[in-house]
Structure formats: C-alpha cells, structure tokens
Structure 1
Amino acid sequence: MSKAKWLLWAAPVAGAVGLGVCVDQWLSAAGEAKQDLKPAVTLPISRVVLFNSGVGYFSRSGEVEGDARVDLTFPEGDVNDLLKSMVLEDFSTTGRVSAVSYDSREPIARTLSSFAINLTGSPTLAGILGQLRGERVEVAVSATAANQPGKLSGTIVGIEKQRVPAGTQVLDAEVLNLWCAEGLRAVKLGDVQTLRFSNPVIESEFRRALDVLALSHDSQKKAVSLHFAGDGRRRVQVGYVTEAPIWKTSYRLLLDAGNKEKPYLQGWAMVENPTDEDWAGVKMALVSGRPISFKMDLYNPLYVNRPTVEPELFASLRPVTYSGGFKDSNGLAYNGPADAKAAKPMIAAAPAAPPGSGGFGGGGFGGPGGGPESRMRLADTDEKRDAADRKRYANDFGRELASKMNQGVVGNAATSGALGDFFQYTIDHPVTLPRQKSALLPIVGKEVEGARVSIYNPAVQAKHPLLGLRFKNTSGAHLNQGPVTVFEGSVYAGDTRVLDVQPNEERLVSYAIDLGTEVDPTAGAGKQQITRVKAVKGIVHTVTQVTEEKTYRIANRSATDRTVLIEHPNRTAQQVKLVDTPKPVDDTPEVLRFQAPVAAGRTTTFTVKEQRDVATTIALSNGAEDQIRYFLSLNEATPALKKKLAEALQIKDGWDGAARELRQVQEELRRLTADQDRIRKNLRETPREAEVYATYLKKLSDQEKEIDALTAKEKQHTAAEFAARKKYEDYLANISD
C-alpha cells in the first residue's frame, strides 16, 4: 500500500509565510476550509517507545473519513520537540496530509507594539493617553472638580504637568488637555472617573491588546491541528518524539541455597505516564541505548536585525563639471564604492538542514528505508509496504518540497543507517497505564550461568572479602544498569548494582561481606639488581631490575569451600610485569583478578610477584672518578667498557700529575711573595747604614730573579694542566660501548 507522508521538519518553511495567519485563512488559501466544518477526530495513543536518554516516541493511529481534522494539545515545553520530530502518515492512495497548524508564539512585546495602543511595560493612564493625541474621547469627571461639567467630549491635545494648589501645598499634577466645542480645556487626571474612546477602531485595538495580555498568562498548553484530505475511510497515523522520564530497571537474583540450580534472574522496567491522557492497550517498547537528543528553539519566531537606510535627499542641480576618474574593464568611469561587490544585494541562503533532520522519518520509525530490528518503525509491524510505491513517493515528495523551497538548501528526506548500539524490549501484551501513574513491567525472567566467589579487594574491605557471583549474561537480552536484590533460597542475602551488560558478557556482582573468610596481605622485602650497563658518548645508562612481592594469606573458617578472587592493582601501564605468578582470570584496566581456591577450614597463601625495570643515566664529568670506579666494580659492565673506564683513570692520573706540579709552583710563588713582604717591612725599619740593610737588599734581588723563573714555569705547567684536563674530558665525552 502506498501512503502519503509529511515530515514536519519542513514546517518552518511553510511557517515563514503563514504562521501569522489564522487557520481558517490558511486552509481557505489551500482550498480546504471545509475541514473545519466537521468535528475533530480523536487519535488515541497506540504505541509508546521509551528511551533511557530522556525522550519518548509516541504514535497515535486511527481511522478518518473524508476531510478530517485532528486536534491535539501539548505542553509548551514539548512544542519544540514536536516541530523537530513529527511524522504524519495517510495510508490510503486517495488521501494526503493537508496541513498542520499550531498556536503561534509571537514575542509578547512585539505583538503588543503592533496595536494602535502599546501596552508594553504596564503604561500609566497618562502614557496611554499620550499615545492617542488627536483621538476623540468622552470623559466623566468627579463631582468635586471645580469649574468642570460632569461629562466632556473632545479631542486629546496632550498630557502636561502643572503646579496646582492642594490645601497649603503646591503639587505636581498630570493634566489632560482637550479641544472641546467651547475651546481648550484642562482636566486633572486625578479628577477623571471614566474615559471612553469615540473611535470604535481604537476601542477594538485596546480590547485586543488586553486579550493578548490575558492569553499570555495561560502558556501551559498549546493546540496543534492536523488536517487530512481525501475520500472514504482510511487509516492515518502521527508519530513524534518528546521529552519523557527515562525508564529504569531493577533486578532480582535468586540463588539456590544448595548451589545445585542455576541462578535465576528476574528484571523489571519502571515506566511513567507523564502525559495528561490514559494509555489504554498501547503497544510498548523500551529501548536500551543512548541516541543523541537535543533541544532547539523552533517555536519562537526569530527576527534578524536589519540596518536602517536613510533615503537620499537631493537639492536643485547646479551646472555639472566633470573630472577624470578611474575606469573599469569596460572603459566606463566608475565613482561608486571601492568594492563593486558591496553594491550587490546580499541574499542569505536558507540554512542547510542537518543530515537526518527528518527525525524518525527516514530510515528510522516508519521511514522508507529498511533496517535491523533494533531500529523502530513508525507503522505497525503487520503493515506491508510496497517498495516501488515508497520509492516513487519519496521522489515525488522530494521534487514537491524542492519546488516549495524555491531551490533552497534542505536536508535529506530519508536517511538510513544505524545510530548507536540499541537493544529493544518489546512488551508482549498491550499496556494500560492511567495518566500520571507509574508501572513495573517484566522484561527478563531466565536462568543465567553463574558461580559463587568471594571477592577480596583491600581498598574495599581490608580484612574480609565480599560474597559475590561471577555470572554470564545468557538471558539473550541486554541488561540495562540498575540495582539487584539477591536472595538465597527464600532468604534475603543483600543488594548490589550492575552496570550495562551485553549478551554473553561476564560480570561480577557482590552483595554481602564474607565473614567466614579472612585475608591478610603482606608485602615482601623485594630486591634490586642492575641488569645492564651501557655508555653512549660519556653518558652511562644503567637498568635496575626491581622485584616486588605481595603475599595474600587466606583463612577459610566457614563450613564450605571458597573460591577467592584477589583483586590486585593493575600496573601494566607502568611497565610492571608478572613473574612466577599464575595468570590472572580477569584483566581490567584497574585490577588483575587472581583465583585462589580454599578448602573449608584450611589456610593457604597466594603470592603475586612483579618486576619492573628502572633506568638511570649518569653523565661522566671531570669529577666522576668515584663513579668510574663504581662502574668498574659492576659485574654487569662489559669488558670493553671496563677497559675504556680504566684508560680514563690513567688519563685522569696524568691530569692529576700536571695539576700537582702546577700547585707546587704556585705554592712556591706564594711563599716567595710572602717572604718579600717580610723583607720590605724590615727594610723600612732598618737604617741604611746598618750592615743588615745591604743583606736584605741582596736577598730581595735574588728572590726577584727566582720569582721570574717560577712565573715562567707556572705558565708552562698551567698550559700542561689545561691540556691534560681537556684530554680527560674529551675522552670521557666519547666513551661508548
């Protein structure tokens, strides 16, 4: 069967030209105003698909005859999702979707400013009358007003403030100036009791503005009307996605007290009906997956600020004189804007609709493309489609839409492909759920494979392991995350929690403390051993193997055998490897799980031995003699490296000898310099005619000659020491092995 379909993501295009028009005018323009003459048809909810991403898909279906109208109401917060996702279908070859109309939401300030009297911002009486200058009004003043008749009729001239006496004071008062038959009158607004507009158009505008204000207070519900055109009775359907509470799951896990039967898993889904109507016999499906969903404001009219261009004013022309100007490529003088492109009108293209913006209309719910069972279809599963008709309809719809869009940019009308990895729970029987009520629906009830274990993690419980179960999801269903209540036989055993579990995936759950088993972890002494020494251009690289041990002493004081799973920190990312240790049964990013069976009343130990290599680098320098002797003493150093290090020590000895000779010369120079200071001091204190004076002079002269010789020698030894040190440093910098 072929069908007529309208995807509501095209509604903003139609809304751009007709959202401000009333429904009667819109349908009249389409030649279908007769639809409003018939009572509205009710389409009950027939299918509900809930996602655990915060949205729900709702489908309404039923029969209509001839031209029909379906009226729906939605909370204002759901209108954006409705405009984004609604899909309409008419399953008859003679029927079609005519139009969709909904309450417009013009910004209240913009709507009020469109009336002759602008009530934006709660204006005062003076502010209202100030907008109506030139309009005729009838005014009734209070009987206490001096020199004023009871009623006045005149034209509003304006509002002014005057200083008027009030007893012993003079106060500011607002005064209405009227042009009456007898002349200009001033009426204090405080004396005005009633005021009526003589112009019926102004009065109508005022009433309409008040109606808009009143309607803006009731913004909880918005009306949406669906119009179908055709002949005879036929089936129609509407589907849409709106915000909905996520469905939740809880499980019961029944363990056999004698450990002879397989564990039995029972799962329940908790769903809510947040709508304002009852669900009576609806088909329900629960999808375990997280499709991407977002909100977009499609309901509020959007306006673009446009520049205001002042018209050019021309004075009378004077005699024109011309001067030479630049020429364009055609040889014509051009004195316009510097950039010719600036003179062209800029037309903004319609924004491109994102791929798949048809929501569930293409390749999804009821779209023309097929898909896996995990993708929901809009039509019931018993509806058979004709592939050729669907393809022909899609082509015709695409051409019609492109024509309406005036060659604008639009998204694909149908997009097929699986998004995400969904799993669907289809409730076998129709669901009846009153409005604003919740329900528990069974979704899983099967035996699963499982084995009891005791799980020990010192970070969770330092002394005792936790009673748990290693189970395999053999239920054939994806298990959504949720709490699990565990029973042993008919006795409550504890609570636990499980994350999402795929079919045939294994998972651990723990539900109580195993008081009959005790674990005592003890860290071993460990050891360190250098395993490799290598030199590269004066840098010595060493690798030290660090071995660590941890022993878990397990005591089973219960009357049954235990299988203990030891959770040991996983440090493989730190290049730590296991040695002389059984392979773990589980390898997770956080822990390694080792299995240790312990008989009843017995004690056993389990040792985890780990090794890691620690690399260090030491740069050999001219003060690295102790380091060189240390590396020479290592058995791990190669003979070639030891030979080069020994040669380095010999070169170091040569440098040390040159340095010693230099220090000796420098020491002798310091001694002679100090002795000369002593002699000069004595000369200053000794008379020239004394015999010892001449002795001091001769000794001072001899020392000067000796100092000259030592100075020359110091230069030689300094050069020799520098050459020896450079030779040593260069040798160290080039040691490689």
Structure 2
Amino acid sequence: MAEASELPLKRVVLSSSGLAQFTHAGEVAPGAALSLPVRVDQVDDVLKSLTLFAAPGTLGAVSLPGKTPLAELFRDLPFDQSALASQAALLNALVGAEVEIEGSVNAAGRIFRVEDEAAQLPNNGGVVNRHRLTLLTPKGMVQAILEDLTALRFADPATRAQVDKALTGLAGNRAKDLRTLSISLTGDAKAAAFSYVVAAPVWKTAYRLVLPKDGGKARLQGWGVLENLTGGDWKDVELTLVSGNPVALKQQLYTAVFVDRPEIPVSAGVRIVPKKDEAEARKSLRSGAPAYRAAPAPMAAMEKADGEADLYVPQTMGSAAQAPEAEEAATQVLYRFPGKVTLASGSTLMVPFVDADVSASRTFIYQRDTNERHPLAAVRLTNDGASALPGGIITAFESGSDGAANFAGDAQLPLLPKGATRFVTFALDGRTDIRRIDHGVTRARLGKAVGGTLTLTTKSRWAIDYEITPPATEDREVIIDEPRADGWKPLADTKDIEETATRLRQKVSAPAGKTTRTTLSRERVDFQTVVLTSLSPDEIVATLSGLENASPALKDTVAKLGVVVDTLAKLNSRKDEIDGERKKIADDQDRIRKNLASVGQGTDLGRRYLDLLKTQEDRLAAFSTEERKIEGDIAAANRKAEDIAQALVL
C-alpha cells in the first residue's frame, strides 16, 4: 500500500447556521492513499457529506477504524486489555503458551502460572514483591523469578503477532477522540480533492453605522466574527462566509445498526414411528434441513461521475484591501474574500464583508410596550446594495460638528433583503413627550332577517389619541408603532399608514414647540348568522333588541314577541307553583300514612286520615290535568314565537 499523505486545506466556508465546509486539494502520487484525521464527534457528518474529486476511474474506497477499535481488537485476541498491565498479567493470560527464558534460569516450556510472592530483603531491609514463573518442560516443572530473567520470548510466531497487534492498537488509540479516514486512489491520479461539512461555531455579524450630521447617505460597515476550533491551523485558505438557513440533519452513520428479526423455531420433520415389524424392529428417524446464509455483496468502488467537476481550483489571489464578492443565491448570501486567510487553531478572526454607503433617514418611533412617554431615536435603512444583509448587532455613531464619530447607541439589524427597508432604533429620545389615550372599542350591530334567519353585522371601532410634544427648537417625524391585531384594519381615509405582518405604523409630523394631536382609528367587521326559530322566545328578543337599524317591522316583532315571552313567563311560573304544591302534598301524605299505621284504619282518627288522603289525591289529579293544559299552552306560545320570527323581514 502506498504511504498515506494529507492534502492541505485550501478552502473554508462558514455558515451562519452552524456548519462549515472544508475543502482539501493538492497533488498526489499515483496509487496514493489520502488520510484525513477527524474528531470522533464529527465522523457522522464526514460520512454523510464527504465528496471526492479526482480523475475518472481513480477513486477507491474510504475506510476508517471502528467506533470502538480497542473493543473490536481485543474481541479477536486470547487476552483482554487488562492483560497488558504487567508482564505477570500477560503471562497468566497466556497460560499454555510456549516460551523461552534466559537469565538465572535457562529453559523452554509451556506457561503453567505466575504467582506473587513476598521476599525478605537482607539485613532487615524490608519486603519486596516478586513473581514466580512456573514452566512445564520436558524435564518437568521449572521455576524462575521473573525479575531475575534477562530474556523471555514467545516461541510461537502467532502468539508474538497477537501481542504485537495489541500493542500496536494501543499505540494507535492514544488519540482517543480522533479517527483517521483512509481514502484510496487507483490508477494514475495526479491530483485530488475532497470536501466535507461538519458542525462549527456560528460566525457572527457586527455592524458599524456612522450617521451623517445633515441627512444623506450613512456609512455601513459589516464585520464577520469567526473562530477556528478545528484543532488545526488554517494557512493561506480561501474564506467564504454564508448567511442562510439550510436544512441541517444528523444521522448516526458511524454506529453499527442491527435490525431486530423475529425468531422462529428450527424447522424439523415430523417424528414418524412405524409399526413394529414381526421380523425386525425399525429405528425411528428424525430429518432436518441445513441452514444457509447469503454472502454479503462486495462494496462498490466509488467513481467520479461523468460531467463532475475536476480538481478544485483555488481563486486568484486578490488585494487585501479589496472588498469581498457578494453573491445572492436562492436561499442564502455568500461573501467570498479575495485574499487568503491564516488563522491559528483556537484563535478568533474579524473580517469586513460590507463597507458601503446606504440610504438612511432619521426618524423617531413610539412603541408603548418599550416606553410609555418617549419615542426611540431610529434610522430608516434601505438596502440599495446588490445582495441581502444578514441580521446582526449594530453600533451607531453620529457625526459631530468637528467631523468626529460619536457613539450614539447599539441596535439590532434584522435580515435586510435587497431593496427592503428596516427601522433601526438605538436610543431613547427623552426630549420628546407623547401622551397616549386609548378610548377602547365601540360596537354597532346591524341585522338583516329573511325567513327566520338573521344575519348580524357587528362593526367595531377602536380609536387611540396621541399628543406629541417635541423639543422647543427641533421638529420631529414620529412613527406611531402599534401591534397589528387580527381582523383590525385602519380606516380607509387614514393617511400615512404602513402595515407589516405584525405592526401598524402611522407617520406624524410634529413641528417644534407645538403639541400635535393625532388619532389612530381601526375598525373591524364581524358577521354572524343566527337561525331565530332555533332560539327560545326570550333569546330571540335579546338578539333583536340591540340592533342599530331598528325599523317599524322590527319594533312590532319585538313587541309581539314580548307578549309571548310574558305569557310563557306566567305559564312557567304556574308550573313552578304546581311543583311546589305537589311536593308539600307528598310530604304531608308521608306523615299521614305513618300516623295511620300507628292508630289503625278502624279508629275515628284513622278514618279522618283516610278522608284527608282522598282529598289530597283529588288535588294531585287536578294538578296533572292543569299541567297538561299548561304544556299545551307553552307549546302553542313557542309556535307563535317561531311564526313571528319567520315572518320578520328586516
């Protein structure tokens, strides 16, 4: 196998979504193997995204150690990793192996065991721990002290190879968090490149905005702040910053996955016991079918597809003072820096990606949820550049009379698409006072009725007054900024209104030294369909009573329904009286029956009780008759109410 070599890092693309694309490229020797050290936590991403570029027919396979290489290594060895803790532990793990020893004892034989023993040093010098090796030789058991031997060799080459394999594996696993991918090349490849995408720190955006003293263009400078946490230095690499939100997925490609399979019993033939022959007793037979396992298919070699790009070619070196090239793609913006970048591992770099004059105008925004009495000093920025600007923090400066830029405040710039306008607020204007008076919501209900169906139209109006008092010597353009409530619209004749997805803004000019009054009025129209005949008479009256478009027909209908409601109220009141009387009689009858059981029916008092019970039963029968009539009258009243509602035309 050709000696492995690492291709130099040529290009770094950092995304604001927390991903980074690294491209390595360079010349290679024919048949070379390329190596790529990767952190264990990034192997899944590399396996997902690694893309290789080379001449057609020169790409081989990509291999790397397993996720737990030591566990896999010792799985196939006759000893575990703990056996390499000491010479004695290894020999005890290899009991039965043939060895040759030299020193105080010269012998050859099989390891029987190694035992610890304590030996007394001369002149009461203390106790030392030693290890006694016992060998089984053709001449019998031979013992030797390991510490007194000058040489110990394994006689079997296979055993020596196993120990060497374990030691080599331990040495290669010292970098516990790294795995090295080996990319094999075949044929006569002279140049190659590969690219992969892994997680990386998000590059941050920090803007500087210098506002002119007397209007005009503002100076906007955007810096990208990035870190190199790859573990290796970036030396003369091409740098591209990407602002966007691509879909980023993870999958455990580096973890072995086994699919659960249902277990079924071993298929066997039916046990057959033939009848006994008079001449000979036959043995019973059991038949079975051997199991076969399909051999795995060989891995297909990775080859370069037709029409695929050739070896990655770096861009031409540009001047360090030259601005990066901005490219707006379908879902992201790319900033390609013309000069090469060098950044040591663990270091932070700040590079300018925007430096241009932008359209800006001073204004003041009043947001009650930010401050109830004062507006915010703001700038209306228009992106008249060639690409969108990513969101980020802004440090604002104001140009003084001496030409110096003085700190004005910090702000947040949301994503600013090409040609779009955004407000940037950076300070509180304590010299402008605003009083907000919320008059609440007033509602008007209109109705239209045909065939017993009422269509309700509710018109709501919400008015808020503002009193704006600017400084005595300065005019103010104030933007009243209120949340946009669902279903509410500004009145059609309201001027200088701007609607966004979440905000409603009204521009107000407030001359110096005066209090300017303005009103932000919104309206909302809701519709509701009510089937009047499905309501009770009193519900019909309640629904119709609050309408603003009352007509003679509506008033007549409400009056007729009022009579029905009164009738129903009296009928239901009488039902309640009957229920009360019936309960009293039931309680009284229960008392009389108890007394009757005590005195007996043949006594004078018992006969009086019987007469009283008969009188009460007659009253209960009369109640039942009256109730049936009341139920009929109630049903008739409800039908009358339905007819009245059905006949209403409004």
Relative to structure 1, the CA distance from residue 239 to residue 563 in structure 2 (aligned partners, 3 Å threshold; closer, same or farther) is: same
* Counterpart mapping for 1:294-313 below 5 A: 294-299=249-254
Partner in structure 1 of residue 480 of structure 2:
566
| Cα drift, residue 135 of structure 1 | 2.7
Q: Does 1:514 align with 2:432?
A: no
After superposition, give the CA deviation of every residue in 1:291-342 in whole Å (9 maximum; x if it has no partner). 333444545666779999999999xxx99739xxxxxxxxxxxx999xxxx9
Q: Does 1:724 align with 2:633?
A: yes
Q: Does 1:451 align with 2:415?
A: no
Partner of 1:241: helix, strand, or coil?
strand
Percent of aligned pairs with the same amino acid: 24
Counterpart-to-counterpart distance in 1, 2:609 and 2:81 = 117
| Cα drift, residue 567 of structure 1 | 0.9
* Counterpart mapping for 1:21-60 below 5 A: 24=1, 35-36=2-3, 43-60=7-24
Q: Does 1:505 align with 2:415?
A: no
| Cα drift, residue 274 of structure 1 | 4.2
The 8 Å contact of residues 358 and 383 in structure 2, kept in 1 or not, is answered as: yes
* Counterpart mapping for 1:531-550 below 5 A: 531-532=446-447, 544-550=458-464
Among 500, 512, 527, the residue aligned to 1:588: 500
| Cα drift, residue 469 of structure 1 | 0.8
Counterpart-to-counterpart distance in 1, 2:347 and 2:614 = 118
| Cα drift, residue 424 of structure 1 | 1.6
Amino acid at match of 1:55: L
Counterpart-to-counterpart distance in 2, 1:659 and 1:286 = 80
Among 35, 42, 58, the residue aligned to 1:97: 58
TM-score (norm 2): 0.71
Among 407, 411, 421, the residue aligned to 1:496: 411
| Cα drift, residue 474 of structure 1 | 0.6
* Counterpart mapping for 1:670-689 below 5 A: none
Q: Does 1:241 align with 2:197?
A: yes
Counterpart-to-counterpart distance in 2, 1:714 and 1:228 = 107
Counterpart-to-counterpart distance in 1, 2:611 and 2:97 = 131
| Cα drift, residue 594 of structure 1 | 1.0
Counterpart-to-counterpart distance in 2, 1:701 and 1:199 = 125
Counterpart-to-counterpart distance in 2, 1:661 and 1:244 = 83
Instruction: Name which of structure 1's ranges 261-270 and 293-302 shifts more when overlaid on structure 2.
Output: 293-302
| Cα drift, residue 579 of structure 1 | 3.0
Partner of 1:509: helix, strand, or coil?
strand
Relative to structure 1, the CA distance from residue 566 to residue 649 in structure 2 (aligned partners, 3 Å threshold; closer, same or farther) is: closer
Amino acid at match of 2:17: S
* Counterpart mapping for 1:168-317 below 5 A: 179-181=136-138, 183=140, 196=152, 198-201=154-157, 202-224=159-181, 236-259=192-215, 261-275=216-230, 279-299=234-254
Relative to structure 1, the CA distance from residue 615 to residue 283 in structure 2 (aligned partners, 3 Å threshold; closer, same or farther) is: closer
Relative to structure 1, the CA distance from residue 191 to residue 459 in structure 2 (aligned partners, 3 Å threshold; closer, same or farther) is: same
| Cα drift, residue 213 of structure 1 | 2.4
| Cα drift, residue 531 of structure 1 | 2.7
Q: Does 1:116 align with 2:26?
A: no
Among 274, 284, 287, the residue aligned to 1:321: 274
TM-score (norm 1): 0.63
Amino acid at match of 1:52: S
After superposition, give the CA deviation of every residue in 1:441-478 in whole Å (9 maximum; x if it has no partner). 22222222221110110111222111111111012122
Partner in structure 1 of residue 124 of structure 2:
none
Relative to structure 1, the CA distance from residue 657 to residue 255 in structure 2 (aligned partners, 3 Å threshold; closer, same or farther) is: closer
The 8 Å contact of residues 576 and 611 in structure 1, kept in 2 or not, is answered as: yes
Relative to structure 1, the CA distance from residue 368 to residue 554 in structure 2 (aligned partners, 3 Å threshold; closer, same or farther) is: same
After superposition, give the CA deviation of every residue in 1:164-213 in whole Å (9 maximum; x if it has no partner). xxxxxxxxxx99876455656899x9999999464343244224323322
Instruction: Name which of structure 1's ranges 617-626 and 105-114 shifts more when overlaid on structure 2.
Output: 617-626
Q: Does 1:86 align with 2:47?
A: no
Counterpart-to-counterpart distance in 2, 1:496 and 1:589 = 21
Relative to structure 1, the CA distance from residue 553 to residue 346 in structure 2 (aligned partners, 3 Å threshold; closer, same or farther) is: farther
Relative to structure 1, the CA distance from residue 101 to residue 530 in structure 2 (aligned partners, 3 Å threshold; closer, same or farther) is: closer
Amino acid at match of 2:395: T
Unaligned runs of 5+ in 2: 118-130, 276-286, 317-327, 400-404, 596-603
Instruction: Name which of structure 1's ranges 427-436 and 519-528 shifts more when overlaid on structure 2.
Output: 427-436
Partner in structure 2 of residue 67 of structure 1:
30
Counterpart-to-counterpart distance in 2, 1:622 and 1:607 = 41
* Counterpart mapping for 1:627-706 below 5 A: 628=541, 631=544, 636-637=549-550, 639-640=552-553, 642-651=555-564
Counterpart-to-counterpart distance in 1, 2:266 and 2:614 = 108
Counterpart-to-counterpart distance in 2, 1:184 and 1:292 = 71
Counterpart-to-counterpart distance in 2, 1:660 and 1:272 = 84
Instruction: Name which of structure 1's ranges 69-78 and 297-306 shifts more when overlaid on structure 2.
Output: 297-306
After superposition, give the CA deviation of every residue in 1:81-115 in whole Å (9 maximum; x if it has no partner). 44443344346xxx852546655236311201212
Counterpart-to-counterpart distance in 1, 2:231 and 2:612 = 120
Amino acid at match of 2:207: Y
The 8 Å contact of residues 83 and 89 in structure 2, kept in 1 or not, is answered as: no
After superposition, give the CA deviation of every residue in 1:512-555 in whole Å (9 maximum; x if it has no partner). 11122111111126534333376997x98865544332111111
Partner in structure 2 of residue 388 of structure 1:
none
Partner of 1:524: helix, strand, or coil?
strand
The 8 Å contact of residues 105 and 149 in structure 2, kept in 1 or not, is answered as: no
Counterpart-to-counterpart distance in 2, 1:177 and 1:127 = 14
The 8 Å contact of residues 47 and 58 in structure 1, kept in 2 or not, is answered as: yes
> How many matched pairs?
590
Partner in structure 2 of residue 76 of structure 1:
39
The 8 Å contact of residues 112 and 135 in structure 2, kept in 1 or not, is answered as: yes
By percentage of residues, which structure has more strand? Answer: 2
Counterpart-to-counterpart distance in 2, 1:44 and 1:704 = 114
Counterpart-to-counterpart distance in 2, 1:309 and 1:707 = 82
Unaligned runs of 5+ in 1: 1-23, 25-34, 142-148, 163-173, 323-334, 370-376, 383-417, 682-692, 694-698
Counterpart-to-counterpart distance in 1, 2:330 and 2:385 = 22
Relative to structure 1, the CA distance from residue 712 to residue 516 in structure 2 (aligned partners, 3 Å threshold; closer, same or farther) is: closer
| Cα drift, residue 722 of structure 1 | 2.2
Relative to structure 1, the CA distance from residue 266 to residue 159 in structure 2 (aligned partners, 3 Å threshold; closer, same or farther) is: closer
The 8 Å contact of residues 361 and 380 in structure 2, kept in 1 or not, is answered as: yes
Relative to structure 1, the CA distance from residue 647 to residue 435 in structure 2 (aligned partners, 3 Å threshold; closer, same or farther) is: closer
Relative to structure 1, the CA distance from residue 494 to residue 622 in structure 2 (aligned partners, 3 Å threshold; closer, same or farther) is: closer
After superposition, give the CA deviation of every residue in 1:487-526 in whole Å (9 maximum; x if it has no partner). 2112221111212211111111011111221111111265
Counterpart-to-counterpart distance in 2, 1:643 and 1:118 = 102
Partner of 2:374: helix, strand, or coil?
coil
* Counterpart mapping for 1:328-477 below 5 A: 367=308, 378-379=312-313, 421-477=331-387
